[in-house]
Amino acid sequence: MQSSIFSTHFLSNFLSSYTKSAAQSMPPANQIPVPPQQQDPLAQLRDIHVPTEVNIWPLDWGWWVAIAVVLLALFCLYKAITAHIRHNKARKQALALLESISAQQSNWPVALNSILKRTAMSYYPTQQVAGLYGKQWQAFLTSALKSSDSKLESDLGLLVSNVYQATPNPSDFETCKGAVKNWLSKAKLPKNKGAYGDVNDGGLNDGSPHDKQAKEPHHA
């Protein structure tokens, strides 16, 4: 009986000692190595890096060429537009002045002819135009047309003939006025005179109708 109790006590002490030694020999839980397949895959990723700011300067030479071409094209377009406006200034002023002339004016043939003469002097050399009258003036107006127009040429002849009549025919007014308007629209007006004069410079917008008639030569 005593030997049995002794054996049980001995076995209990042995198991207790073995358990303590085994517990002391085991590493802590946080130090137990984790198998590779159980590691967190996100831990291997690098932090997010913000890309460096892209600087557009200096530009590549191709961009400079493109910018230069665009600027040159814009400059040429600006020059073309301003030249066109300047070239048509006298023509537009003449067309606007034409609307102020009516058949009630006793000297309407001279007034209409003055618009043609002053406009022609704005584009052609003054010495070439100023001394023309009668058939020579009519021939000049005809030669200045871009293309042959027998109806317009006839109407211009009617205007020139009315200039020399003491009492112009009122029924010819609309035809003559239309001839002036058509000539202003269809005449080939050169661009190489050097300086483009205004219709105003001819005195058509200043003074009374009697002053206008006095300024216009009797043979115009």
Tell me the pLDDT tens digit for each residue of 157-167: 999 999 988 88
- pTM across the whole model: 0.59
pLDDT at 210 over 50: no
Cis ω before 109 (30° cut-off from 0): no
Q: What is the mean pLDDT of the chain?
A: 77
Gap between the Cα atoms of 18 and 13, Å rounded = 9
Q: What is the reported pLDDT for 162?
A: 92
Task: Let me know: does 144 contact 120? Beta carbons within 8 Å.
Answer: yes
Output b/e per residue, 128-147; b: 16+ Cβ within 10 A: ebeebbeeebbebbbebbee
Q: What is the reported pLDDT for 184?
A: 94
Q: What are phi and psi of 145, to 5 degrees?
A: -75, 145
